[in-house]
Amino acid sequence: MTVLALLGILAAGTAGAIYWAMNWSASARARKLVNPLPPNPRDIAAGMQLYRDHCQKCHGPNGDGKGEKAAELFVAPRDFGDAREMRAWTDGELFWSITKGHRPMPAFADKLTETERWQAVDYIRTFAQNPAPPAAAPANGLTSP
């Protein structure tokens, strides 16, 4: 083995370690990333539209991971409607996953703007929210306007 080959291996190993460390700290940073677009009707509606265009075929119309393409994927997308699981994720982590992708999910860094990716986060969050309580007669016996 030549010295040059040895140096090559060393360089590749170092590059790999640096890449790993950078990726790791990026995900740690992502966890703390603050959503600059707190949920509001306008951004949630925009998120819904782009979810339909880019995400629904895998993640499903109800966010339960049962999209028409899901059966072909080697990893099942998780259920965004599972409130317990979703609480474990910060908005920053969701944003980061959308940005970077995760095989078989594609990265959206070049396909969606940052604003659009945050709108998608806001929309995904709505799947785990409790359904609106049924309209019941007020307990105080008064009729509502």
**Rounded least distance, CB 9 to ligand HEC, Å:** 30
Are the CB atoms for 117 and 108 separated by under 8 Å? Answer: yes
Least distance from ligand HEC to the Cβ atom of residue 77, Å: 4
Query: Taking the complex as a whole, how short is the minimal distance between the CB of residue 58 and ligand HEC, in angstroms?
Result: 3
Measure the CA angle with vertex 47, ends 41 and 48; round to 5°: 90
d(CA 13, CA 50): 40
Handedness of CA 23, 25, 26, 30 (dihedral sign): positive
- Neighbouring CB atoms inside 10 A of 125's CB total 20
Number of residues engaging ligand HEC in binding (CB under 6 A):
19
30 binds ligand HEC (CB under 6 A): no
Residues 124-143 that bind ligand HEC (CB under 6 A): 124
- CA 91 to chain centroid: 8
Range 52-111, binding ligand HEC (CB under 6 A): 54-55, 57-59, 69, 73, 75, 77-78, 94, 97-98, 102, 104-105, 108
**102 strand-pairing partners:** 105
- Contact residues toward ligand HEC (CB under 6 A) are 54-55, 57-59, 69, 73, 75, 77-78, 94, 97-98, 102, 104-105, 108, 120, 124
